[in-house]
Structure 1
Amino acid sequence: MFGNVKRLVTVGLGSVLLGACSVIPGGDDGMADRGPVADAPPVAGPSADMLPDDTGRHRVALLVPMSGANGDVGLAIANATTMALLDTGAENLRITTYDTSGGAGAAASRAIGDGNRLILGPLMRDNVGDVLGQARPSDVPVITFSNDTTVARNDVFVMGHVPEQSVARAVNFAIDQGARNFAVLAPRGDYGERTLTATERAVNARGTRVVGIERYDRTNTGIASAADRLAERGGFDTVLIAENGRLSAIAAPRLKEAGASLPSILGTELWSRETELTRVPALRGAWFAAVPDARYRQFADSYQSRFGEEPYRIATLGYDAVLLTLRLTRDWRPGRALDTALLTDSEGFLGLDGSFRFRDNGVGERAFEVRQIGNGAFTVVDPAAQGF
């Protein structure tokens, strides 16, 4: 399955950068975890008559919220795209930011009218339909930062970190270590449904079993009671907690005694930046899967030096979207429609978040690493594949 991977740019990460869980409202749980806002005003898309005739440049639209509930996240993504343009010295791209806060459909309409041939965004899955309604008639592909694969199409490509893939990676790793009987602690709502379904699918594919499921409302007492019910039922050697760090820390001691080898505890990508988990004795030895983090620290340091604050973790998607676009320009002529076949190269691409590729149905597939929680630190116990 795995082989070579195409780099998005021809320089290494160090050269790119140096020279060249909170939940987002609307259903994309786990996409952002912390981050500040740079002191910069929102950027509005210009009118068509204000844009120069860039016959030698590719016009690309960035559609993100620049105000409102997710304005901080949108600004971080916009800042990251600016970083990527500066770091790579890209002279063949003109990326214009359009604020979706006043309506994603209106922003997309303006972007199409301005001659953009590719849309990066929107951030939220609920906005994809409005954007696609404007983009599809003009044959403009959409690369959304959402992590919801239900919005994927042959002209809508999902770039977010998909929770189901994180779950499948962790479950398969656990099975390789000897896990056979699984239990699931999942919240009510969309995220819980997605992670529960992913667990059942991965477990069944390997001939193992899900022997217990408990759902709960996302409160301290809700998860505590669900964990108690699961522990009383017993019969499992591995339990997946589909929750953020704070609530997982409440559940874990009710499922496993500190220092005990079983049951094994699994988490999801929501644990990626939750370093406080390393201070929970019952979680020592727990596993979870996330995109590789090795390049993120260098990116975050560079971002902070430029904007004065640490970025949201999701900001790397903005950076990688620019690198991906640059890779596409090798075979894409300015002013022409983008052939979506260029996006579905089976060998995939490499960005700050590791290897990824888009399938023909628009679903983004990523290589995840497995980390283990230790005393004060996360350790990579099974590295992400370097290519597809």
Structure 2
Amino acid sequence: MAERVSIGQSPSAWRRFAAAAVAAGALVLGGCQTVVPRGPAPVRRPPVVRPTQPQQPVVEQGIPKDTQRHRVALLVPLSGPNAGVGQSLANATQLALLDSSNDRVRITSYDTASGAALAAQKALADGAQLILGPLLAEDVRVVTPIARRAGVPVVSFSNDSSAAGNGAYLMGYVPAQSVARVVNYATDKGVTSFGALVPNGTYGERASTAFLRAVEAAGGRVGSLQTYDRAAGSMTAAIIRMTKSAPYQAILIADGGSMAAAGVPVLHKNGMGGARVLGTELWNSESAIASKPALEGAWFASVSDGLYRQYATKYRARFGTAPFRLSSLGYDAVLLTIRIMRDWPIGAPFPEDRLHDRGGFAGIDGAFRFGRDNVAERALEVQEIRGGTTVTVSPAPGGFEE
């Protein structure tokens, strides 16, 4: 008979038995653990790249931005009745760029004949930092406030001083300066008594004021100042009225050369043929002025023609036609821009304060500078019509005294 083994019923004996059973079970389970074989390693596939839409180029409106040159706008009439003058000014600006071999200024022309305001707005939208022009005073008055709001100065070709200021500068030949210059020259030559014939209108009013002031400043006397309309018989009537205060040593005819030449025979007929005839800067704009026999011995003040003749020759060779006399203003405006460009970084606003340099600027028409009124003060010469040509009898000064 088998021996029976008994286990005591004490708690400690049961705890030792349970612990041994757990340990044995763990060994049995550990020895019977099933090993699952591994399959092949997963294949790594490259990520799916979806096709992208090609980037569309950015199309800018207007003229492309220029990062290498200054953007300058030229506002002139390129159609309509003043198209000839406007095109001549445009040609002159291009000739100035060529002559100076300058590639840092880009000039774009805008036609003011279709609206000066629209032309200015288009120029500013295209990035213009300086405006050259317009030609007419009424256009200057329209363009100036538009440009001023954008901080862009306007260098105009007008000679109407009332259009200057508020960012507008005038390069035109102002009648007051030529009248004062020829009167001063006449007094230097001993003339003390003066008469004057002036047309009605704005030009005549300004010429009259300048004449009276110049004669007074020179210590002379004005015997008579008569106005007339540009109509048949009107100048003759004015000359007859002048006879009441005759004689005169010099008589100013503040009009174009053709009108002056028509009036001289009437002066002779009415006993005033001994007076020296004086003219204004308007005479210099007429190429045939020297060929008028009635004006023999007359004096007039204007910008110098020396460099202009050379310019006119080059202009004809390039464009196949003669330039308008006023076109030299366009050429000189570019020279002014190039000189100031030394202190004008690309992309920066135009340094307007430089326009008031007291030393002035030089150009085809000689030295000039802008005064406090923004009107160009010019160094003028006095010419005499003699033997079918014009002779300089008093040269223009080469510059200005500070």
SS in 2 for 1:329: helix
Change in Cα spacing, 1:358 to 1:381, as seen in structure 2 (3 Å) is same
CA deviation after TM superposition for structure 1 residue 273, in Å: 4.5
Q: Which has the higher contact order (CA 8 A, sep 6+)?
A: 1
Q: Contact 2:301/2:383 (CA < 8 Å) preserved in 1? A: yes
SS in 2 for 1:373: strand
Of 194, 215, 229, the match for 1:217: 229
Unaligned runs of 5+ in 1: 1-46
1:82-110 alpha-carbon deviations (Å, 9 max, x no partner): 11111211111011111111111111111
Of 333, 340, 346, the match for 1:321: 333
| 1:143 aligned partner, one-letter code | V
User: In 1, Cα distance between the equivalents of 2:77 and 2:233?
Assistant: 34
What is the TM-score normalised by the length of structure 1? Answer: 0.84
Q: Which residue of 2 aligns with 1:67?
A: 79
Of 298, 304, 311, the match for 2:310: 298
Of 185, 204, 212, the match for 1:192: 204
1:132-188 alpha-carbon deviations (Å, 9 max, x no partner): 121111110000000111111151110011111111100111111111111110111
Q: Contact 1:168/1:202 (CA < 8 Å) preserved in 2? A: yes
CA deviation after TM superposition for structure 1 residue 284, in Å: 2.5
Q: Contact 1:168/1:199 (CA < 8 Å) preserved in 2? A: yes
User: In 1, Cα distance between the equivalents of 2:86 and 2:60?
Assistant: 23
Of 260, 263, 269, the match for 2:275: 263
Moved over 6 A (4+): none
Percent identical across equivalent pairs? 48
Q: Which residue of 2 aligns with 1:358?
A: 370
Q: Contact 2:293/2:388 (CA < 8 Å) preserved in 1? A: no
Q: Contact 1:238/1:266 (CA < 8 Å) preserved in 2? A: yes
CA deviation after TM superposition for structure 1 residue 276, in Å: 4.6
User: In 1, Cα distance between the equivalents of 2:129 and 2:341?
Assistant: 12
SS in 2 for 1:292: coil
Change in Cα spacing, 1:274 to 1:135, as seen in structure 2 (3 Å) is closer
Q: Which residue of 1 aligns with 2:350?
A: 338
Unaligned runs of 5+ in 2: 1-58
User: In 2, Cα distance between the equivalents of 1:77 and 1:284?
Assistant: 31
Q: Which residue of 1 aligns with 2:101?
A: 89
Change in Cα spacing, 1:227 to 1:245, as seen in structure 2 (3 Å) is same
User: In 1, Cα distance between the equivalents of 2:155 and 2:296?
Assistant: 38
User: In 2, Cα distance between the equivalents of 1:222 and 1:148?
Assistant: 25
What is the TM-score normalised by the length of structure 2? Answer: 0.81
CA deviation after TM superposition for structure 1 residue 282, in Å: 4.7
Change in Cα spacing, 1:59 to 1:381, as seen in structure 2 (3 Å) is same
Corresponding residue pairs, total:
341
Change in Cα spacing, 1:261 to 1:249, as seen in structure 2 (3 Å) is closer
User: In 2, Cα distance between the equivalents of 1:83 and 1:291?
Assistant: 20
User: In 2, Cα distance between the equivalents of 1:228 and 1:166?
Assistant: 26
SS in 2 for 1:381: strand
Change in Cα spacing, 1:233 to 1:360, as seen in structure 2 (3 Å) is closer
Q: Which residue of 1 aligns with 2:28?
A: none
Q: Which residue of 2 aligns with 1:368?
A: 380
CA deviation after TM superposition for structure 1 residue 262, in Å: 3.5
